[in-house]
Structure formats: C-alpha cells, structure tokens
Amino acid sequence: FAHRQTDELIKMWAEVDRRWMAVTTPIQVGHPLEYYEDHYRKAVALEWDLRIVNPRLQEGSHTRKNIKLFAYEMAQKFGKAAEHTMAKNLLQVDRTQLYIGQPMLYYAAEFNGLFSAQVVPNDEQVSTELGKKIFAYADFVLQSKIAKPIMKLSVEVMTEAFVRTQRTLAKEQPELWHKIYDISTIGHEYGHILWIDNDTETAMNATGQFKNIEEFKATTGGLMAFFRHEEEALKHHIVDDLVSRAVGLMAWREVGEVLPYYCEGLIHLEILFGSGIIAYDRQITIDYSKYDAMKDAYIAAYEALARHYLDKADANDYLSRYAKKENGIFLPVTAEVRAFVEHYYARYQEIGQQTVTLS
C-alpha cells in the first residue's frame, strides 16, 4: 500500500496473491480485497476475515468431479481450440482449493458481501499457475435462511405451500439442503473457471456487459454438472432452487453493484418460461413434467454461451438474446416474461419489506 509506482501495482499484487495461495491450512485468511464498494470506480473496501473449515462438509462435495466430466465432454464437441482452452481450465479446477466452513473473526468497512460464496483470486495469470480458492459458508447460509422472516411477497408470488416446503427442507432436512447447496452454490463458483483465457474478459467487454452474462455462466455451469450426473431424488429440489433464485433476483434491478445477478435472473426466467416449466397467473406455478424440456433449453443456452466465450465475442450480443435495456433498465425480450418481471417489481416496491407469519 505504500508503493508509489502505480504501473507496477498489478504485478506486485499478483505476488501477494501467490503468497496467499500458498496458505492451505484449515484456518484461512480471507482475500484482503474482495468486495466491491464503489460501483463507479470499481474500488474495493478492506474486508479481512478468518474462516475455519468444516471437515465433514469438505468431504461431502462431489461437484469438482462432475464439473470436470461435463466440461471435458462438451469441449470435445467444439474442436481442438476448445479442448486446448478447457485443458487449461480443468488444470485450474484441479488446483483449486475448496474451503467449506464458517466465518470466525472479521473486520469489514461496510460488510459488503459478507458472507457469500466466492472464487478468488481474479488474476488469471496467478490462477493459471496456482488455481483458485473457493470459499463457501454452507452452515452460515443455512442458519441465516432458517432465521430470516417470511416475506409477504414470497408467499404472494411463490405460494404459501412453496415457501413452507422450502423452510421445512432447511429446518428438517439439512443433509439434503447441503446437497442442493453443493450443486447450486459450489457449482456456481467452479462454473466461473470454465471457458476462460487470459484475455477473455477484455475481449468480450467492449460494451461493458461481460459481468452481466458471467454470473449466468457460473450458475448454469453448476447446473450442467448436475445434468451430467443426475440424482432422481434431487431433480424437483434443483428446479425449486433455480426458480426461487431467478424470481428473487428481480428485486435487485435498481442496485447497480449487483446488476450482473439481476441480468442472470432475467436469462433464467426467459429459459424457465420458454421451456414451459413455470407459468404465472397471479402466482408462479411449476410444471415438473416439463423438466426434460427445461433441461434441453438450458443445455442449448449453455452450449451457445460456451461458443460465445470461445469466440471471445462481445458479451452484449449474447445478453441481448434475452434482455434489452430500456430507459436504463434491462428487461426481458419476451412479453410474458416482461409482464411478470414488471408486476413482481411493482409489488416489491409496494410490499417488499413486509413480513408474514404462517399459521
């Protein structure tokens, strides 16, 4: 921080990353600069913490293996250049250190992002050499989920039965909940690693939209890994988790710092409505018989996205298939999906802070 030669800072910080990657103990120091604080200058707040691993949860994650299998097979369909890129990505996956645990101590300037799962560092040169670290806080997230009040908007849109089922799952079936978390959240973090070269973000970000498709790529990467190794008993739960995530993200449309997640939600909703697995008539209904149609739609969307990354095409070209910006706000391209998104956000503004108690 005392160094004055600004053109040397990236190289010097890469050395900090290398030293940090060498720490492999069960007690981990958080990456010193992680959470974005300033949307305009992309500045970061100092948010340092200590994390401790839960050995039982560490051993229960199978996502790394499933990610590798599906990604390797898909790359083979795309040809030699794709195989070359994926070989480097899978080496990173192999080198990636997974830490599932609990926060111990933390200092944060503004507590932005504490504690969400993350994959770091962002320096692709360091990651090529040493892989990455994935941090996930499954127990912390589960307890937070159980402790949170029930929101009136969730009951109104998702139905009381759906909300009650989700809470019962969290309270009474924690082992099943952890399996879903492994697929969706840890799968998301591994999904960030795929289809990336050193210059991918720079090449794809000419219109500034790279981050607005990258979060969808990450979540759907975890989903592809599940499709590669499906468990029948988990199918409905994965659908429920996906629908709940996509709908909930619609509340974030005017929060610039989390715009990539809102855009991710828009893409999910276009696919979910388009496949027929969900519909909306005052409440969301889920037709689980359309699971295979949903699966096919996601595979097609993800394969197109992977090709987009391999071609290093502008991210906006992909995003615009699903969402267009109007008056500064991204909205779905399909009328049915747009009607739902607009209605949901209007209700969020009206009752988004109200809670209810289920009898």
Tell whether pTM > 0.85.
yes
Query: In 10 A of CB 56, how many CB atoms?
Result: 10
Q: Is residue 72 part of a domain?
A: yes
What are the tokens at 217?
């790529």
Q: Is residue 37 part of a domain?
A: yes
Query: In 10 A of CB 187, how many CB atoms?
Result: 24
- How many domains are contained in the chain? 1
pLDDT at 103: 84
For the chain, the helix, strand and coil percentages under 3-state DSSP, each to the nearest 5: 60, 15, 25
pLDDT grade for 3, boundaries at 50, 70 and 90: confident
Q: Is residue 224 part of a domain?
A: yes
What are the tokens at 58?
């560490």
Residue of higher predicted confidence among 159 and 114:
159
Q: Is residue 292 part of a domain?
A: yes
Closest CA to 187 of 238, 139, 141, 263: 238
Classify each residue of 311-335 as buried b or exposed e, where b means 16 or more C-beta atoms within 10 Å of its C-beta. ebebbbebbeebbeeeeeebbbebe
The string of pLDDT tens digits covering residues 29-77 is 887 665 555 555 555 555 577 899 998 887 778 899 999 999 999 999 9
Q: Is residue 328 part of a domain?
A: yes
Q: Is residue 1 part of a domain?
A: no
Q: Is residue 22 part of a domain?
A: yes
Domain that holds residue 212: 6-356
The string of pLDDT tens digits covering residues 199-214 is 999 999 999 999 999 9
**Alpha-carbon separation of residue 204 from 46, 79, 96, 338 (angstroms):** 29, 21, 25, 26
**Residues 355, 151: contact at Cβ < 8 Å?**
yes
The string of pLDDT tens digits covering residues 124-179 is 889 999 999 999 999 989 998 999 999 999 999 999 999 999 999 999 999 999 99
Q: Is residue 230 part of a domain?
A: yes
The string of pLDDT tens digits covering residues 237-291 is 999 999 999 999 999 999 887 899 999 999 999 999 999 999 999 999 999 999 9
Classify each residue of 347-358 as buried b or exposed e, where b means 16 or more C-beta atoms within 10 Å of its C-beta. ebeeeeeeebee
